Amino acid sequence: MQRFPVGIVRRNGKVIAFANIWQGAGKEEISIDLMRYLPEIHYGIMDYLIIQLMLWGKQEGYRWFNLGMGPFSGLNDHALAPVWNRLGAFVFHHSEHFYNFQGLRRYKEKFQPEWESKYLASPGGVALPRICANIASLISRGFRGAISK
């Protein structure tokens, strides 16, 4: 965090929210990763911070502001869809106890993003569930974080 820029919101000199900034090569895009705000502050402060960072990025000559992914959203769950698509769609619609995929997608939608599909290539069979579990573990800072959210 000390080596990269951080967007900060202060109230009366006190930091009330921040987000670290990832700057892409050639000023192609910027993105944010870790975002935090004080619990007593209205969550709308993050909207303000993101908008300010978008404006800053535009002023600095960046082409895109990357809001990140909307995991498991947009997958087909009809009878002819591949099993993994149907499983991913099921996770998106029924896993709010573990992770709020739908809420994350709704939050990002308010900024009217240009969604772009991303795919994960893996060996077939039982490797994919293990890979997905490993990815969830990485994102959640360990297996316990992945199942306790």
Q: Would you tell me the crossing angle of helices 83-94 and 101-109 to the nearest 10 degrees?
A: 80
Q: Is there a contact between 65 and 54 (Cβ–Cβ < 8 Å)?
A: yes
Fold of 6-66: Aminopeptidase (3.40.630)
- pTM, 2 dp: 0.69
CA–CA dist 104, 66 (Å, integer): 14
Question: What is the structure's pLDDT at 73?
Answer: 67
**Which residue did the predictor score with more confidence, 103 or 42?**
42
123 token code pair: 């060996």
Q: Mind giving me the DSSP string for 48-61?
A: HHHHHHHHHHHHTT
Burial category of 101 from C-beta neighbours within 10 Å (exposed 0-12, middle 13-18, buried 19 and up): buried
Write the pLDDT tens digit of every residue in 19-70.
999 999 999 999 998 889 999 998 789 999 999 999 999 999 999 998 877 6
The owner of tokens 């944010």 is: 32
Tell me the domain boundaries of the chain. Answer: 6-66, 83-148
Q: Is there a contact between 35 and 55 (Cβ–Cβ < 8 Å)?
A: no
